[in-house]
Amino acid sequence: MPSMDESDERPRFQRVEWAEIAPRRRRATPERVTFALGVTVLLTLVLYDTYVAHVYLVGSWEVTPVDWAVMLGGICLAAYGVVPALRRPRSTRRIFRAIRAQTTLLGSVATLGFVAVLGLVAAPVLGEPSLTFNYAYQPPVGFTVQIYNTGCLGEVLQGPGITRYCRGSLYYPLGTNYRGQPLDYLLISGARTAVYVVAFTAAFIVPLATAVGVAAGLRGGRVDDFLMAYVDVQVSVPALFLYFVGYMYFGPSLLLLLATFGLLSWGGIARLVRSEVLQCREDGYVRLARSLGASDRYLATRHVLPNVTNTLVPAVFHLFAILVVAEAGVAFLGFSDIERHSWGSTIAEGLSTDPMYPHEVWWVSTVPALALAATVVAFKLAGDGLRDAFDPRTEN
């Protein structure tokens, strides 16, 4: 009788979704239909906003140009990310099982999901609170701060002489800044800006970088030389300098920042994808498919892309972290839109205080700094964990 170990080593046939690899001749695929419907609705809203009246999505959330761009990116992600996932339930379940099996990965994905919910749902629902300068620098719950020329919503404690201290209250659980704005609102608004950065990058920048890398690796020759020469020129242009040039002529704009930093930051991903494609195209199954008449598009979508995820996924999440930090850095320097709150601008507010010292109002800069650090770490850990989850070679 064979032992338990011998029975586990019996060869198994890998399940193949033949409907997914069969040639498609129909043009109205679910992805294209979803994209077309989404773009139609979006164009209708744009025309209504331009010629009839302003469009408000939720409450007082008036749509701006960067909102239109992010909504277009959301349509792209839904059409070519969510719809394919729903059409491949077996692969989707495998990815979810891999996420649940890794505690670190599950925690990082939950953190990023929480940030996304805060930015997309909580920010527009809560709305922007009014300025209350009389309650500036209210401390968080459980902490006290010396009162100078402001009021106190919590308990007032008497110190030596005429010194008085204010104890934090539940009315502002995370405290306030110098304008009396609650830190929880600033934290949520900063999450919304971070979500915009990630959505724009995932919808427009990552597909562009992947397409350039795959085209250069598969076609080779002059196409490869031209595309890589362009990448070399692009990565040599500092994104911050280009943003400052645009800032001079167009003023502060999140859309300008996303365009400059995003369009000049994908060269590294394109190079990584190209190097992986150069290795994949020499594998036996790719050469066999090519000899049977498979087109470059078929090779890219069916054979090459699924086998470069182990390099592409960590690089993409690393790019997310870099661009979130870059946006916070620009906001920290004061070159961002003052009407759009960012974690970087809130950190800067905590370091320029008067008449108090920065360490006396530590929560103004500490709370957004912790949120920024947690988000960046979550991106790093999620990228490393999802590398194995998306890799089809790890399927059980």
Q: How is 288-335 classified by DSSP, letter by letter? A: HHHHTT--HHHHIIIIIGGGSHHHHHHHHHHHHHHHHHHHHHHHHHT-
pLDDT of residue 119: 86
In this prediction, residue 7 has a pLDDT band, given cuts at 50, 70 and 90, of: very low
Look at residue 112 and tell me whether its pLDDT is greater than 90: yes
Please tell me the predicted confidence (pLDDT) of residue 330: 92
Residue 5, pLDDT above cutoff 80:
no
- CA-to-CA distance for 280 and 345, rounded, in angstroms? 45
Residue 353 token pair: 């205080």
Q: Is the pLDDT reported for residue 12 higher than 80?
A: no
From CA 342, how far away is CA 70, in angstroms rounded?
Answer: 17
pLDDT of residue 200: 92
Mean pLDDT of 39-62: 82
Least confident of 103-112, 151-160, 238-247: 151-160
Indicate the range of 10-24, 64-78, 336-350 predicted with least confidence.
10-24
For residues 55 and 49, the answer to whether their CB atoms sit within 8 Å is yes
Give residue 152's pLDDT.
83
Integer Cα distance of 144 and 165 in angstroms = 6
| pLDDT exceeds cutoff 50 at 384 | yes
pLDDT band at 22 (very low <50, low <70, confident <90, very high): very low
**Dist. CA 154–CA 143, nearest whole Å:** 10
| Token code pair at residue 157 | 């404690």
Euclidean distance between the first and the last CA atom of the chain, given in angstroms as a whole number:
25
More confident residue, 63 or 204: 204
Strand partners, 157: 165
Q: How many Cβ atoms from other residues are within 10 Å of residue 290's Cβ?
A: 16
Length of the chain: 396
What contacts 259, CB < 8 A, 6 or more positions away?
A: none
Query: What is the pLDDT at residue 324?
Result: 94
Q: Summarize the confidence of residues 355-369 as an average pLDDT.
A: 85
pLDDT of residue 26: 57
Say if residue 2 is preceded by a cis peptide, omega within 30 of 0.
Answer: no
Nearest to 396 by CA among 95, 21, 107, 102: 95
Distance of CA 4 to the CA centre of its chain: 46
Query: What pLDDT score does 149 carry?
Result: 73
> How sure is the predictor about 1, in pLDDT bands with cuts at 50, 70 and 90?
very low
Q: Which CATH number describes the domain made up of 102-129+182-394?
A: 1.10.3720.10
Q: Which two tokens stand for residue 329?
A: 């850095």
Q: Please state the separation of Cα 41 from the chain's center in Å.
A: 24
pLDDT at position 306: 76
DSSP E strands: which ranges in 155-310? 156-158, 164-167
pLDDT at 294 over 70: no
d(CA 317, CA 387): 10
Q: Tell me the two tokens of residue 282.
A: 């020499």
Q: What integer is the mean pLDDT of 182-198? A: 92
Quick one: pLDDT at residue 110?
Answer: 93
Burial (CB count <10 Å: 0-12, 13-18, 19+), residue 73: buried
Give the whole-angstrom CA distance, residue 47 versus residue 260.
27
Mean pLDDT of 268-291: 79
Output the six-digit token pair for 158. 């008497």
Query: Measured between alpha carbons, how far is 191 from 75 in angstroms, rounded to an integer?
Result: 20
**Residue 11 scores a pLDDT above 90:** no
pLDDT category at 179 given cuts 50, 70, 90 is confident
Confidence of residue 393 (pLDDT cuts 50, 70, 90): low
| Angstrom distance (rounded) from CA 301 to CA 329 | 37
pLDDT at 317: 93
Q: Is the pLDDT of residue 14 over 60?
A: no
Q: Give yes or no for residue 178 having a pLDDT over 50.
A: yes
Q: Cβ distance 197 to 259 under 8 Å?
A: no
Beta bridge partners of 164: 158
- Calculate mean pLDDT across residues 257-263: 88
Residues 349, 359: Cα–Cα separation, whole Å: 12
Q: Report whether pLDDT(136) > 90.
A: no
Structure tokens belonging to residue 52: 């009839």
* C-alpha span between 286 and 281 (Å, rounded): 6
Identity at 109, one-letter amino acid code = V
* Rounded Cα–Cα distance for residues 199 and 349 (Å): 27
pLDDT, greater one: 17 or 114: 114
Nearest to 266 by CA among 245, 235, 239, 241: 235
DSSP conformation letters of 82-149: IHHHHH-HHHHHHHHHHHHH-HHHHHHHHHHHHHHHIIIIIHHHH-PPPP-GGGTTPPPTT-EEE-SS
Q: Is the pLDDT reported for residue 17 higher than 80?
A: no
**What pLDDT, in 10s, does the model give residues 311-359?**
888 999 999 999 999 999 999 988 888 778 899 999 998 887 666 778 8
Domain with CATH 1.10.3720.10 in the chain: 102-129+182-394
Per residue in 116-126, pLDDT (tens digit) is: 998 888 777 77
